[in-house]
Amino acid sequence: MAATDVDVFSNEEKRNLSLGGHVGFDSLPDQLVSKSVTQGFCFNILCVGETGIGKSTLMNTLFNTMFENEEASHYQNGVYLRPRTYDLQESNVHLKLTIVDTVGFGDQINKEDSYKPIVDYIDTQFENYLQEELKIKRSLFNYHDTRIHICLYFIAPTGHSLKSLDLVTMKKLDSKVNIIPIIAKADTISKSELHKFKIKIMSELVSNGVQIYQFPTDDEAVSEINASMNAHLPFAVVGSVEEVKVGNKTVRARQYPWGVVQVENESHCDFVKLREMLIRVNMEDLREQTHARHYELYRRCKLEEMGFKDTDPDSQPFSLQETYEAKRKEFLGDLQRKEEEMRQMFVNKVKETEAELKEKERELHDKFEQLKKLHQEEKRKVEEKRRDLEEEMNAFNRRKVAAETLSLSQPLKKDKDKKN
């Protein structure tokens, strides 16, 4: 009875009603906001670029603080990632910022595997989150989310086009993370060259099917500014933490003999645009995209790999429980089979070793017998010789005695002969 009642209710059409007075649930967003603020936000940035291209300086400039960073060397054997977490606060908003640096990127002579550590790192973060989600006792609300929300790809300002390494790496990363390409050290490119460079880069990305992050244009509040910013990609940035006096103000800038490049001057570089887009306008959207698009894609691939499906061959929805049971049985079966195999192998090995040992024993025994025989032979020979020798000795003694008795009977005659 209860089941049919429920069915009836769920088939009913949803109706729009108008309110008679002010109820007050328009404060829901505010409640959400205050809850988020107390919870704190977390944001993870991945900076990919060659050594020395200005990643650390740009981070310092963006967040207006000095994150401790030693200069990296050019002689790393491979690429490795270095995540650092910082706690920042502005007004009453807490931000747990994680900056992941790629150390050694672009330095090796053979760069074919350079993208692998980066992809592995991103996948690991997704995996950790997935594990947490699948736990029985899970605490997602205070889980420290380490998934990368944004990847800033630093392009070297050659003025011609992308490097081959850039293209290969971005293609591998575009389905896993939001990529914003930026042109680093842009104070080496003049305005006209910059225009051509940007067009070339974007056309190369498009023709190779690289999906970079597009600022969302569906929310009317920010759609206009986002749309105009999309046209300025990739941003040409200059980073600096040094302050220079220009006019009567002190601004962050780089001082050259021929002029001063001001970081926050929009006609000098696109730093302000980057800051606007990255931090002030679209941070939340980046996090959402990471969770809703990239993470879901990863999860789907991973679960499909493990053998889970949403529908079984008869197109009936599978319950996760049943799938789990099936999986477990399969797994146990596998385990047993493996155990059997191992036991067999062990028994075989033991038999083999036994047989070997027996062989060896027999051999040893044979040798012993042989040696014994030899020894006896030798002993016999020696005995014979001894007897011969004894006989000889006896014969000699007898002759000696005989000679002596003979000589005793004629001693005087011999002496007389000698004297003459």
Of the candidate residues 9, 25, 141, 256, the single one contacting another protein (CB under 8 A): 256
Binding region for another protein (CB under 8 A) out of 84-92, 161-169, 276-284, 366-374: 161-169
Binding region for another protein (CB under 8 A) out of 152-160, 221-229, 367-375, 383-391: 152-160
Binding region for another protein (CB under 8 A) out of 124-132, 226-234, 250-258, 336-344: 250-258
> Other CB atoms closer than 10 Å to residue 41's CB: what's the count?
16
Of the candidate residues 1, 19, 23, 109, the single one contacting another protein (CB under 8 A): 109
Smaller CB distance to another protein: residue 109 or 221? 109
The least CB distance from residue 246 to another protein, in Å, is 10
Smaller CB distance to another protein: residue 52 or 216? 52
Using the Cα atoms of residue 74, residue 77, residue 80 and residue 82 in order, give the sign of their dihedral. Answer: negative
The least CB distance from residue 112 to another protein, in Å, is 5
Mark residues 18-37: x for contact with another protein by CB under 8 A, - for none.
Answer: --------------------
Of the candidate residues 27, 64, 74, 390, the single one contacting another protein (CB under 8 A): 74
C-alpha to C-alpha distance for 138 and 134, rounded to whole angstroms = 8
Residues 6+ apart with CB under 8 A from 69: 56, 101
Which 193-232 residues touch another protein, going by CB under 8 A? 204, 207-208
Mark residues 281-320: x for contact with another protein by CB under 8 A, - for none.
Answer: ----------------------------------------
The least CB distance from residue 255 to another protein, in Å, is 6
> Would you say 122 and 177 are in contact if contact means Cβ atoms under 8 Å apart?
yes
The least CB distance from residue 154 to another protein, in Å, is 9
Residue 260 interacts with another protein (CB under 8 A): yes or no: yes
Residue 255 interacts with another protein (CB under 8 A): yes or no: yes
The least CB distance from residue 279 to another protein, in Å, is 25
Residue 24: both structure tokens together: 């007050």
Residue 249 interacts with another protein (CB under 8 A): yes or no: no
> Other CB atoms closer than 10 Å to residue 381's CB: what's the count?
10
Smaller CB distance to another protein: residue 157 or 234? 157
| First-to-last C-alpha distance (Å) of the chain | 164
Residue 108 interacts with another protein (CB under 8 A): yes or no: yes
By CB atoms closer than 10 A (0-12, 13-18, 19+), residue 280 is: exposed
Residue 291: both structure tokens together: 């969770």
Q: Which phi and psi angles does 215 have, rounded to 5°?
A: -65, 135
Least Cα distance to 201 among 172, 151, 158, 237 occurs for: 158
By CB atoms closer than 10 A (0-12, 13-18, 19+), residue 159 is: middle
Of the candidate residues 58, 59, 62, 72, the single one contacting another protein (CB under 8 A): 72
> Would you say 280 and 218 are in contact if contact means Cβ atoms under 8 Å apart?
no
Q: Give the strand order in the sheet containing 235-236.
A: 80-90, 93-103, 41-48, 150-155, 179-183, 235-236
Residue 89 interacts with another protein (CB under 8 A): yes or no: no
> Would you say 184 and 234 are in contact if contact means Cβ atoms under 8 Å apart?
no
Residue 234 interacts with another protein (CB under 8 A): yes or no: no
Smaller CB distance to another protein: residue 128 or 188? 188
> Would you say 173 and 297 are in contact if contact means Cβ atoms under 8 Å apart?
no
User: Applying CB under 8 A, which residues contact another protein?
Assistant: 50-54, 71-75, 107-112, 156-168, 184-185, 187-188, 190-191, 204, 207-208, 254-262, 267-268
